[in-house]
Each structure stands twice: as C-alpha cells, then as structure tokens.
Amino acid sequence: MKIYLNGKLVPESAAKVSVFDHGLLYGDGVFEGIRSYSGRVFMLKEHVDRLYRSAKAIALDIPMTKQAMATAVIKTCKTNNTTDGYIRLVVTRGVGTLGLNPFNCKTPQIIIIAGNIQLYPEKLYKNGLSIITVGTVRNHPEAVNPSIKSLNYLNNILAKIEAINGNVEEAIMLNHNGYVSEATGDNIFLVQGGALVTPPVYAGILEGITRDVVMQLASDAGYEVRETMMNRYDLYNADEVFLTGTAAELIPVVDIDKRAIGNGKPGKVTKDLAARFKKFVNTVGEPIG
C-alpha cells in the first residue's frame, strides 16, 4: 500500500509523522472518511468541502486548494487500485511543542490512506442490529461542536466502550438535554407512519453526507422527511429504525435497549431506501481513472 504524505506517495512503512505532531499529542486535526464504488469516489466534493469547513472552525489553514486535495485523493486511489474501498483523509496541525499553543505548529500534515473497510458483517445488514443507549453524553455544541469532524474522537470512543461492554455493535448517544443525537459513528433515522424522521443538526450531530443523500433519496421517492428532536420513547415506539454512515452505509436496527423495533425485523421502508442507496452509489462520483 502507498500512503499519500505531504505531496508524495510513500510505502506504508515509510509513512511516519513526528511524535511532536499535535494530531498525536492533542487530537488536533480534522479528517474525512470517504468511499469509492465501481471505480468512482463517492461524494468527493462534499467530503472535501466538509473537511475545509472543519479546518476553518479550528483555525487550521490547509496548505493546498480543494481541487488539489480532490486530485490527491483520486491519485491515491488509483495508485492503490482502490476502486471499491475506503479512503481516510487526515490533516493534522503538524509538528509543534509540548505546549497547547497550536500556532507553534508551522506546517500541517496531509495524509491520505486508500484501502478497505468492513464495519459490520453482512448478516447484520440482512437481520438488523441490536443497539443500546449509553450514559456518555454527546459533546456540548459549545464545547467541541460535533459538526467539526476532528481527530479528537474520545467522546465517541467512550460511548463505543459502553456498547462493547453491553455486547452490542453500536450505541446511541443522547445530548446534554437528554434528546437523541447520533450513534458513535453514524446518524440515526426512525420511520413512523411512513415518514422518515432524524434529529436536526442542532441536536448535536455531525451532518453526515450519507445522511443527506438518504434524505434526498427518500424525498425523491415521495416519503415525508422531517428533522425533529426525539427521545428514547420515540425510538422505542418507531415502526423502523436504521443508521447511516460512510462506512456503515445504511443498516437496519431491530432492537434498542431490549425493546423490539416494530416487528423486530428490518422494515420495508428501510429495505427500500437501502436498495435505492445501493443503486445510487454505483452511478455517481469522481472517476478514479
């Protein structure tokens, strides 16, 4: 595997950053996870745009244009023959001191990894996930805003530990007011009366790119789509629940906190939208070449 590191494609063994990099020392940086399907990079412009918005929010100046970044992603995929895979795009603050001052870091590090990912076994896409809600509260928007896709994922990791300890694959995090926000790495949707409902961005969520695609596909298919604050009661009494994310794509949820969702099986709306998503991802994107 070749890794893109600051303008060069280097062997995996040579892809190294300093122990003084603020990305390592403090989680000071931003990233994107991107998928490629059928030789095309999916929603590349949207991912790059979000990367730059995240960087701006933390006062991190990325030393290349958006177009150059997109070109580097495609080049890395082509070099590694990642026609159907996963791309991790990372920008760290760069080498600095042991102090917190980010402006002592002069040169951000740009890293692109193009490989493979398998988040969930195929049987879970067919049969659905059992998940739980956890005590780890989602970051307050005025502390570390969840709209910033930063390298500091400790909030999510603590919730993931609770999921693992609860013998489930995923966990739902509540916000500081007790409303549903999102899963540790995915957005959440419920279906009620044929309508698609998901928490709004101000609930303390990352505005997922897969989330936005699914909402548009649902709207185009004639479903009512709403962004509404929701609580655990709403989840328990939903007709259907599913998660969306770059790595997870669209996966059904059939049990939350030992409460069966609907009839305890993936629902027809979830199956319909999953099929529409599968069809869509293979027809759009930037060609790898």
CATH (domain of 249): 3.20.10.10
CB neighbours of 108 closer than 8 A, spacing ≥ 6? 29, 60, 61, 62, 63, 91, 92, 93, 94
Cα 75–Cα 79–Cα 80 angle in degrees, nearest 5: 120
pLDDT given at position 116: 87
Task: Please say if the pLDDT value at position 119 is more than 80.
Answer: no
The average pLDDT across 11-32 equals 97
Domain boundary among 70, 93, 115: 115
pLDDT given at position 238: 98
pLDDT digits (tens, 9 = 90+) for 237-270: 999 999 999 999 999 999 999 999 999 999 999 9
pLDDT digits (tens, 9 = 90+) for 120-146: 899 999 999 999 999 999 999 999 999
- The rounded Cα 19 to chain-centroid distance in angstroms is 26
**What SS3 class is residue 190?**
strand
| 19 φ/ψ angles, rounded to the nearest 5 degrees | -70, -10
**Confidence band (pLDDT; 50, 70, 90) for 289?**
confident
User: Is the same domain home to 127 and 240?
Assistant: yes
pLDDT given at position 117: 80
What's the total number of domains in the chain?
2
pLDDT digits (tens, 9 = 90+) for 87-111: 999 999 999 999 999 999 999 999 9
Task: Please say if the pLDDT value at position 27 is more than 90.
Answer: yes
pLDDT given at position 159: 98
User: Is the same domain home to 136 and 230?
Assistant: yes
User: Is the same domain home to 45 and 178?
Assistant: no
Residue 289 resides in a domain: no
CB neighbours of 179 closer than 8 A, spacing ≥ 6? 199, 203, 229, 230, 231
Supply the residues annotated as catalytic.
149
pLDDT given at position 118: 78
Task: Please say if the pLDDT value at position 24 is more than 90.
Answer: yes
Round to whole Å and give the CA distance between 34 and 76. Answer: 12
| 197 φ/ψ angles, rounded to the nearest 5 degrees | -130, 135
**Confidence band (pLDDT; 50, 70, 90) for 196?**
very high
Range of the domain at 153: 122-281
Residue 109 resides in a domain: yes
Asked if 145 and 30 touch (Cβ cutoff 8 Å), the reply is no
